[in-house]
Chain A
Amino acid sequence: MRRASWIVLTLVLLSAAGCGQPGGDSLARAKRAGLLKVGTDATYPPFETVDASGQVAGFDADLLREIGKGLGFRVEFLVVPFDGILAALKSGKYDAVISALTITDERARQVLFSEPYYEAGQSICVRSDSPSYRLGDLVGRRIGVQLGTTGERLAQGVDHAEVVSFDAIGAAFLDLRIGRLDAVISDTPTAALFARAHPEVRLVGGPITRESYGIAFRLDDKALKNAVDEQLREMGRSGKLLELRSRWGLEAP
């Protein structure tokens, strides 16, 4: 028993150490350094991918670079797996996250979101020769998703479905193509892009959810959030947002 309480004490102390939150005003720091570090999972076209030269490219990347231009800092992208993307934000590995990240209540308790900058939804993708499954038809079937996404949450709600969570959504699409999966649930623009490139798969109807993407900050980084929101509004007014959208083939909602 004595031993057990030692273990417990050690755990509590360790976790207290692990909870240390980086304080300070990230906006002021970014302006001073001329640089903002941003986490992104660059496996999600057309929002973020790594291009041939090794640079992070996509709608999200261009959007944040544009915001940085307005606020007077460069943006340095750190490419990280999606499932740990907010945990690493909280522990201070970077100061913002842009990664086709849906604003959810659960996430909003942990991080601060900018105003929505894109309206998306989840879509079901199937093989071209398979029936047009709706969400309810996926009972007992194999559904591919990306780990930690809203699509994964949606799939987990389907009775008896075997939910296969991948590190990158591209692997799920490839598995769908060869029949190791019956369907893939992902954000509509990403699914549409893949289906356009690969005629063996197709989308079933339109989006089945409505979701808003937001840029995430630490809960205490209100100044940075406000400054980014101001830039987003400005880009909406000036038409820059629409220009970026059409550059990446994202139709206005």
Chain B
Amino acid sequence: MSRAADQLELFGKILVYLLPAVPATIRIALAAFVLALLLGLFVGILRTSNRRILRVAGAAYVDTLRGIPLLVQVFFLYFGLGRILNLDRYPAGVLAIGIGYSAYIGETIRAGIQAVPRGQWEAARSLGLSNVQCLRHAILPQAFRIVIPPILNDFVACLKDSSLVSIIGLRELTRAGREYYSSTFSDFQTWTVVAILYLAMTLVLTRLSARLERHLHRGER
């Protein structure tokens, strides 16, 4: 039984060591995701443009970023481009994850815009709105409602993928886990706690997203 008690104490110690790294993970994921949303919105609109050149540009952006592993993008931004631009670890990590995810968000936004029935455009146009006004006042508000669940899904994935920046020495949850087990060698216990902490964060997020979805669809049928 004392062995079980020792184990519990060890898990407690690991938790105390790792908890301060949780806000760092959330900070990196949030910053990256805000960037991804802004870029993604832009790309999504490009992808649904009437102009062929803009559509091609949007498609090229998405195809390029989606076709390169996120880990390689992190390496590229920190060790490759970062060396030339003298980018620090934090901006390099956030930029890499943010830009990488903007491709996925862009596709989600495009799907959302295209899911709004064609008739909505025509109705808005018939009211004398310009194309931009149509998008801003008629289409996007409806598209947002559609894309919120998949975008929250992307955020959960982004939170998990923030662990990739541990490779450039940015201190977040995964990095803290590696630090702990490199000096204590308790690999199994450390990774169990790291996994549980990620799970706790993502479970909170998915619950929130379910609630938000219900809220958005209240009054519908």
Please list the residues of chain A having a beta carbon within 8 angstroms of any beta carbon in chain B. Answer: 8, 11-12, 14-16, 18-19, 82-84, 86-88, 90-91, 106, 110, 147-148, 164-167, 171, 174, 178-180
A residues within 8 A CB of B89? 164
Task: State A102–B86 Cα separation when bound (angstroms).
Answer: 33
Main secondary structure of the interface of B (DSSP, over half): helix
Other CB < 8 Å A-B pairs besides A16-B3, A164-B169, 5 of them? Answer: A12-B7, A83-B179, A86-B185, A148-B182, A165-B179
Please list the residues of chain B having a beta carbon within 8 angstroms of any beta carbon in chain A. Answer: 3-4, 7-8, 10-11, 79, 83, 86, 88-89, 167, 169, 175, 178-179, 181-183, 185-189, 192
**A26 to chain B: closest CB distance in Å?**
18
Query: Is A8 touching B8 in the complex (CB atoms < 8 A)?
Result: yes
Main secondary structure of the interface of A (DSSP, over half): helix
Closest 3 CB pairs of A and B: A18-B188, A148-B182, A83-B182
Task: State A42–B196 Cα separation when bound (angstroms).
Answer: 32
With both beta carbons as reference points, the residue of chain A lying nearest to B10 in the complex is identified as A15
* A-B contact list, 5 entries, CB within 8 Å: A12-B7, A15-B7, A84-B181, A106-B183, A174-B83
Contact A84 B187, CB 8 Å, known A165-B179, A180-B88: yes
A residues within 8 A CB of B4? 12, 16
Query: Is B86 touching A83 in the complex (CB atoms < 8 A)?
Result: no
**A107 to chain B: closest CB distance in Å?**
8
With both beta carbons as reference points, the residue of chain A lying nearest to B79 in the complex is identified as A171
With both beta carbons as reference points, the residue of chain A lying nearest to B4 in the complex is identified as A12
Contact A11 B185, CB 8 Å, known A164-B169, A178-B86: no
A residues within 8 A CB of B88? 180
Query: Is A83 touching B178 in the complex (CB atoms < 8 A)?
Result: yes
Task: State which of B167, B179, B185, B188 has its C-beta within 8 Å of the C-beta of A167.
Answer: B167
Query: Is A11 touching B192 in the complex (CB atoms < 8 A)?
Result: yes
